A and B are shown apart, each in its own frame.
Chain A
Amino acid sequence: MEKKKKRLTKTYIKENWVLYLLLIPVIIFFVVYHFMPMFNMKMAFQDFKIFGGSKWIGFKNFNLLFTSPIFTTVLKNTVVISLLKLILIFPIPIILSIFINELKTSPFKKFIQTSIYLPHFLSWVIIAGIWVSFLSPTGAVNEIISMLGYKPIDFMTNKAYIKGVLVVSEAWRSVGWDSIIYLAAIIRISHVLYEAAGIDGASRWQQVKYITLPALYPTIITVLILNLGFFMNAGFDQVYNFMNDSVISSIDILDTYVYRIGLKSGAYSVSAAASFFKGVIGLFLIICSHLFSKKVSGKGLW
């Protein structure tokens, strides 16, 4: 039996060697770009020296990390920023998609969609440039604030406002684009349902409440779970480009900290330990999300 199976495998590979040939470059790529870095994570448990002679030191790097007051701040910032984004931004694309769906196809609708999807495709470097100008003392926001009779605020260098700036600029970038997935789900809802509800005298709001929202429920859960899985990220590219010396203590997150102490200050092992810590929590969150998603919607993340 075993032998027969082996022979079958052999003939399969002989007949389909092209398939394996096609995979080879990708496997090399995966090994170099993904698995070698993963293997290097061992340096979290070492006193790493770049030119050899690294010693194993157990959990010393982690001890160093967990007793550092900066790390505590960074961890707190990561959780707070992620939580703020999740709570304040998550519902907006759902509302947007329902509103857009209420509009009849028209140049106006096209204009709305064309405008709100655009920011998603800009790099954070460009977004930072645009927002610094938008929020500058002479920018659009302060122009409105002055019109209302208040004093201009320097948002970008103010610790009290910078987290809000992160949340609003993230919303600016992503809510339009993120509404597409809900819009696609709404379009799939049968028109018959709405027509029947209309005949029964259901108001627009009732139609949304009893037809649209229940139909969106699986999509909402999937997106929510996906977001939870990436909770520890908090948006590196955004923070990296919005950061300045006046607000660093208020928006320094795990990823910016890992970058700064690792590549800027050369504390390779401690940085790797912080990444390891983040990776383990991320892994835990993603697996929980996956299992939860499978239970709720029958569909996992993979």
Chain B
Amino acid sequence: MIKSKKNKVETFIIGVFLLIGAIFAIQPILHIIALSFTNAGSSRNLSGLAILPKGFTLFNYKILLQNPNIIRSLLVSIFITLVGTGLSILFTITTSYVLTRKDLIGKQIFMFMVIVIMVFEPGIVPEFIAMRKVGLTDSLSILIFYKLVNVYYLILLMRFFENIPEEIIESAKMEGAGHLTILFKVLLPLVKSGVSTIAMFYFVFRWNEYFRASIYISNMNKWPLQVVLRQFVVLEDNTALMGFGKLMDSYGSVDFKTLQAAAIVLGMSIIFIIYPLILKFFTKGTFVGAVKE
């Protein structure tokens, strides 16, 4: 009896500790959301601890979603995220399949390449010079092809392929199936959880990518949302958002603090949408190995 009482107290303390951690994790996010829905007059009175808006308004979102720069960058982000993620998944799947063929001649050479890529980072200037030489700068293709196959995710997916019993492949071969049939018809359903995992990783990575876009793309019309966000929120450069002074005047009493908050929320929105999926795939502990990044 005494023991279970002690246990209850311990559980309570652990619960409180975790609750504080959870509040610390989401309060800053909830506050930004609250701020984004707060009207210009009330934002000064909104406590930093508040998680509910004061003087609820959609004004900031109206301004953002009427802004051609925001709309364009949002479309660019959606485009490179979808196309980039799709291509990345496809090529990571095919490469994982090929590299897990036990009798593949030349496998060592290719694995050596993968390891060299893993352990050696050439640095941003050598990379920049190479991209210039190939003529990939100032085009969206660099954002789609950059890290097309992430070697860490490749190795992760390879582990899923390695776990498939060899007999399944052998029997498919006996029935006369070629490599493509084996891969897409027989094996793909078996590595579904691995593919969903890397798909989520790629998706989040593509959506959040800003640095390569900011150094390789000087044409503002091709910037993804995160770069516009960085200009506006981190560098506090309003022209990135508003274009020129005239446009800004027409908005009259814009409160930049709340407008910035709305821009941040816009940048997080897709993550919120796919977050339930992420939780479903990851928290079940179905992943095979650890992945950095």
A103 and B285 form a contact (CB under 8 A)? no
Q: Of all chain B residues, which has the CB nearest A140?
A: B48
A38 and B126 form a contact (CB under 8 A)? yes
- Contact partner, A140, options B28, B115, B287, Cβ 8 Å: B28
List the one stretch of B65-73, B99-107, B164-172, B242-250 in contact with chain A: B99-107
Point out the residues of chain B lying under 8 angstroms from A118, CB to CB: 25-26, 29, 275
B193 CB-CB contact with A under 8 Å:
no
B32 CB-CB contact with A under 8 Å:
yes
Q: Of all chain B residues, which has the CB nearest A287?
A: B119
Q: List 26 A-B contacts (CB under 8 A).
A: A12-B103, A18-B180, A26-B95, A30-B113, A35-B113, A41-B122, A43-B126, A43-B129, A111-B22, A112-B19, A118-B29, A119-B29, A123-B208, A123-B210, A125-B226, A126-B208, A139-B48, A140-B49, A180-B283, A204-B7, A222-B290, A226-B290, A268-B125, A268-B129, A276-B123, A282-B121
Are A283 and B120 also in contact (CB < 8 A) when A36-B134, A99-B17, A116-B21 are? Answer: yes
- Contact partner, A226, options B117, B121, B292, Cβ 8 Å: B292
Shortest CB distance B84–A (Å) = 12
One digit per residue, 1 when the CB lies within 8 angstroms of any chain B CB and 0 when it does not, for chain A 90-127 equals 00000010011011000010011111111101111110
Shortest CB distance A61–B (Å) = 11
B61 CB-CB contact with A under 8 Å:
no
Docked CA distance A219–B129 (Å): 39
A12 and B125 form a contact (CB under 8 A)? no
Q: Of all chain B residues, which has the CB nearest A18?
A: B179
One digit per residue, 1 when the CB lies within 8 angstroms of any chain B CB and 0 when it does not, for chain A 122-148 equals 111110111111101011111110000
B239 CB-CB contact with A under 8 Å:
no
Q: Of all chain A residues, which has the CB nearest B147?
A: A33
B48 and A117 form a contact (CB under 8 A)? no
Quick one: which of A157-216 are within 8 Å of B by CB? 172, 176, 180-181, 183-184, 187, 204
Point out the residues of chain B lying under 8 angstroms from A23, CB to CB: 94-95, 98, 110
B133 CB-CB contact with A under 8 Å:
yes
List the one stretch of A65-73, A74-82, A255-263 in contact with chain B: A255-263
Point out the residues of chain B lying under 8 angstroms from A25, CB to CB: 91
B56 CB-CB contact with A under 8 Å:
no
B220 CB-CB contact with A under 8 Å:
no
Q: Which 10 A-B pairs have the closest CB atoms?
A: A275-B123, A123-B208, A40-B126, A115-B22, A37-B122, A184-B285, A262-B125, A36-B130, A140-B48, A37-B127
B15 and A103 form a contact (CB under 8 A)? yes
Are A138 and B48 also in contact (CB < 8 A) when A126-B267, A129-B264, A272-B125 are? Answer: yes
B27 CB-CB contact with A under 8 Å:
yes
A144 and B49 form a contact (CB under 8 A)? yes
A274 and B123 form a contact (CB under 8 A)? yes
A241 CB-CB contact with B under 8 Å:
yes
Docked CA distance A248–B230 (Å): 18
Shortest CB distance B274–A (Å) = 9
Quick one: which of A25-66 are within 8 Å of B by CB? 25-27, 29-30, 32-41, 43, 48, 50
Question: How many interface residues does chain A have, given as a range?
Answer: 35 or more
Quick one: which of A269-297 are within 8 Å of B by CB? 271-272, 274-276, 278-279, 282-283, 286-287
Point out the residues of chain A lying under 8 angstroms from B26, CB to CB: 115, 118
Docked CA distance A263–B128 (Å): 8
- Contact partner, A40, options B49, B130, B147, Cβ 8 Å: B130
A129 and B229 form a contact (CB under 8 A)? yes
Point out the residues of chain B lying under 8 angstroms from A283, CB to CB: 119-120
A271 and B125 form a contact (CB under 8 A)? yes
Given contacts A121-B271, A223-B290, A263-B128, 19 further A-B contacts (CB under 8 A): A18-B178, A22-B98, A34-B117, A37-B123, A38-B116, A50-B129, A121-B275, A122-B29, A123-B226, A125-B230, A125-B234, A126-B233, A129-B32, A139-B48, A140-B31, A180-B285, A226-B292, A301-B118, A302-B155
A246 CB-CB contact with B under 8 Å:
no
Docked CA distance A39–B105 (Å): 26
Are A117 and B18 also in contact (CB < 8 A) when A129-B32, A143-B48 are? Answer: no
Point out the residues of chain A lying under 8 angstroms from B179, CB to CB: 16, 18-19, 22
B21 and A112 form a contact (CB under 8 A)? yes
Point out the residues of chain A lying under 8 angstroms from B14, CB to CB: 99, 102-103
Docked CA distance A147–B255 (Å): 26
Point out the residues of chain B lying under 8 angstroms from A121, CB to CB: 204, 208, 271, 275, 278
A125 and B180 form a contact (CB under 8 A)? no
Q: Of all chain A residues, which has the CB nearest B94?
A: A22
Docked CA distance A113–B283 (Å): 9
A249 CB-CB contact with B under 8 Å:
no
Point out the residues of chain B lying under 8 angstroms from A36, CB to CB: 130, 133-134
B215 CB-CB contact with A under 8 Å:
yes
Are A204 and B146 also in contact (CB < 8 A) when A26-B95, A226-B292, A279-B121 are? Answer: no
A155 CB-CB contact with B under 8 Å:
no
Point out the residues of chain A lying under 8 angstroms from B263, CB to CB: 129
Are A112 and B133 also in contact (CB < 8 A) when A18-B180, A22-B98 are? Answer: no
A154 CB-CB contact with B under 8 Å:
no
B283 and A262 form a contact (CB under 8 A)? no
Are A258 and B28 also in contact (CB < 8 A) when A23-B98, A121-B278 are? Answer: no
Are A116 and B25 also in contact (CB < 8 A) when A22-B94, A134-B31 are? Answer: yes
